[in-house]
């Protein structure tokens, strides 16, 4: 193909629309990875935590937060699909694009709750272990 078969109109249309579409697709793919990576890790971790009696309750909290975060992230991605494919738009009240801005920070908040639950329980386990050994808990400075 020597390039002469390409029409100038097609080249102009691709130049005008191409970077925006490819940029949005890249942003959506990165957003999907960003919104779900810690939640998926939380689901995997929750299975292991549930097996240990001392961590079972925290494992259930982590699992609930992770599953809800994955659901909200999926809903957010589904709500932004009509921006790339306008034929997928649902007219009227069911159009999710109006609330997609509210759905974006929700997975981050749920992931923060997961990390806080793990941190609080780890602190509790550490203090309890130190009391059982009757030794003062030591804090080592990272340096």
Q: Distance between CA 63 and CA 67 in Å, rounded?
A: 6
Q: Are 73 and 32 in contact (CB under 8 A)?
A: yes
To the nearest 10 degrees (0 to 180), the angle between helices 8-51 and 56-84 is 170
pTM greater than 0.75: no
Q: Distance between CA 6 and CA 12 in Å, rounded?
A: 10
pLDDT > 70: percent of the chain: 64
Three-state SS across 57-82? HHHHHHHHHHHHHHHHHHHHHHHHHH
Judged against a pLDDT cut of 90, whether residue 63 lies above it is answered with: yes
Tell me the pLDDT tens digit for each residue of 67-85: 999 888 888 877 777 766 6
Name the phi and psi angles at 104, rounded to 5.
-60, -45
7 vs 125: which has the higher pLDDT = 125
Q: What is the pLDDT of residue 2?
A: 47
């Amino acid at each position: 193909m020597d390039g002469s078969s390409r029409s100038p109109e097609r080249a102009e249309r691709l130049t005008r629309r191409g970077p925006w579409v490819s940029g949005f697709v890249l942003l959506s793919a990165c957003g999907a990875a960003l919104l779900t990576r810690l939640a998926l890790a939380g689901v995997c971790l929750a299975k292991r935590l549930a097996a240990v009696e001392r961590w079972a309750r925290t494992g259930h909290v982590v699992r609930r937060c992770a599953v809800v975060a994955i659901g909200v992230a999926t809903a957010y991605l589904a709500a932004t699909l009509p921006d790339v494919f306008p034929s997928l738009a649902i007219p009227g009240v069911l159009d999710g694009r109006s609330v997609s801005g509210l759905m974006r920070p929700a997975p981050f908040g749920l992931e923060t709750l997961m990390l806080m639950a793990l941190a609080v329980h780890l602190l509790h386990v550490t203090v309890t272990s130190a009391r059982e050994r009757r030794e003062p808990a030591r804090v080592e400075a990272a340096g």
